[in-house]
């Protein structure tokens, strides 16, 4: 899973939350938790991180997700 592989390059803890419907939180470094997030097209997500490289992690992962929006 591309998101998890990229998240694991950072030392910071990475969390992904759904912002619509019933909120669900997942460890962005766990394939199983990300699958359980069930984020389908149109799901609003919040990516947060804690640690020394947190801002770089959020910026990079948000860029990855945004790049998927242009793919058809």
- Helix, strand, coil shares of the chain as percentages rounded to 5? 40, 20, 40
Q: Of 19 and 4, which is predicted with more confidence?
A: 4
pLDDT at 72 over 70: no
Dist CA 50 CA 57 (whole Å):
9
Number of domains in the chain: 1
Dist CA 72 CA 55 (whole Å):
29
Please tell me the predicted confidence (pLDDT) of residue 70: 63
Q: For the segment 33-49, what is each residue's pLDDT rounded down to a tens digit?
A: 999 998 888 889 999 99
Average pLDDT, integer, range 26-37: 96
Residue 51, domain extent: 2-69
Confidence of residue 68 (pLDDT cuts 50, 70, 90): confident
What pTM value is reported for the model? Answer: 0.88
Nearest to 14 by CA among 35, 30, 38, 36: 30
CATH of the domain at 21: 3.30.1340.10
Please tell me the predicted confidence (pLDDT) of residue 71: 60
């Amino acid at each position: 899973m591309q998101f998890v592989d990229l998240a694991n390059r950072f030392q910071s803890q990475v969390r992904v939350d759904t912002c619509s419907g019933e909120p669900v939180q997942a460890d962005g470094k766990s394939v199983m938790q990300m699958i359980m997030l069930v984020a389908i097209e149109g799901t609003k997500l919040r990516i947060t991180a804690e640690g020394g490289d947190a801002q770089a992690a959020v910026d990079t992962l948000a860029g990855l997700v945004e790049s998927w929006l242009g793919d058809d």
